[in-house]
Amino acid sequence: MNLETPKKFRSLVTQAHQVAANYFRPISRKYDKAEHAYPKELDLLAALLDGMNAGSPEAVGATSASKRKSAAQEEGVRNGGNLSACLGVMELCWGDVGLLLAMPRQGLGNAAIAAVANEEQLQRFGSTWAAMAITEPGCGSDSAAIRATAVKDGDHYVLNGEKIFVTSGERADAVVVWASLDRSLGRAAIKSFVVEKGTPGMTVTRLEKKLGIKASDTASISFNDCRVSAANLLGNPEIDAQKGFAGVMETFDNTRPLVAGMAVGVAKAALDRTRELLKKACRFDYARPLLAVSHAEATLYRLEAEWEAARLLTLKAAWMADNKLPNSKEASIAKAKAGRVANEVTLKCVELAGALGYGEDELLEKWARDSKILDIFEGTQQIQLLIVARRQLGKSSSELK
């Protein structure tokens, strides 16, 4: 790996950083205090990003995160849509995680569509803002325990079940819903369906009040005899006992590096601001040994090292996806490391800044609250470590629980 940002992505990174600094930061506190209020300012930004990303797999957002090979893709080692998406997300979350999650057509459901949809579905849902619905009241980290069902009825599937903690579940144009075609067949029968907003039988039952990412709505959705066209089943409708759950789980190989990128972005924001606040008291001379500097300075150095490790692991997982290399283990490593680092960095930065860090005059306390979800959704810290252990030891999910 070349550890520098690829030349072709540098203008994208600069643009994303400018959006974060000049668009997200000024309204960050406003929508943190106005939970469930839709940030109208994002409509114009989303339209601009759509224009920037049109026809390009090397784009800012979630829709470019895919392992599929485009007609224009060069042979050999490449830097593609997954890496560009991660780099863009890192910069935008330097501005505000909640606002990124609230952006139209940049949801994790869009990454799911990009990951497993066929060509016809990619065209049909290309301009759709898609949320992703996996978690259920009795099913959290163990996605294979999904109880929602999808029963074939002619040219439709009938969905029944309840989903909770759906990011952008109320605002999105559609929801990518995970459901089982046959619960007796276990995880192999789980498929994902695009359910468009307004479909009879789909009801948003409540919006959650949260610790952080308040600019983003988080909904509970019920499905009662909800009829969905069979053409909206993403990928292969056949139940493949050999491949099992792998087809649907490919989504996570693309989305977990994106969530890790979010964590890297908010951690960098906290480090940058803390450095500014401490610069009058600290010399920041990296040539001096840690035992010869103040505790605050040594702590910041250690946090920066942890952040750099998380960043490189995240870029590696995304780069592997671009090159169609198996990256399930690396995606989980990146998600586990970045989620934990973001939590530690943001909380330590609050501590280092003292009263300034705890008050609302600074965004440090907000970043600390926002960061916690990044260690939880898309698979908790503990689940990521379990996946890594299985991959390292060559164990199946039934052998190592």
DSSP code, position 201: T
Query: 171 φ, ψ to 5°?
Result: -85, -30
d(CA 192, CA 233): 6
Write out the two tokens for 220: 């509970």
Indicate which residues carry an active-site annotation.
378
How many whole angstroms separate alpha carbon 59 and alpha carbon 50? Answer: 9
Across 168-217, the runs of DSSP E, i.e. the strands, are 174-180, 190-196, 202-207
Residue 247 corresponds to which tokens in the numbers above? Answer: 């087809």
Helix extents (H) in 151-283 = 246-278
Structure tokens at 138: 């009795």
DSSP secondary structure letters along 96-138: -HHHHHTSTT-SHHHHHHHHH--HHHHHHTTT--EEEE--BTT
Q: Which two tokens stand for residue 236?
A: 């292969």
The CA-based dihedral angle spanning residues 273, 278, 279, 284, taken in that order and rounded to the nearest 10 degrees: -100
Strand, coil or helix: 257 = helix
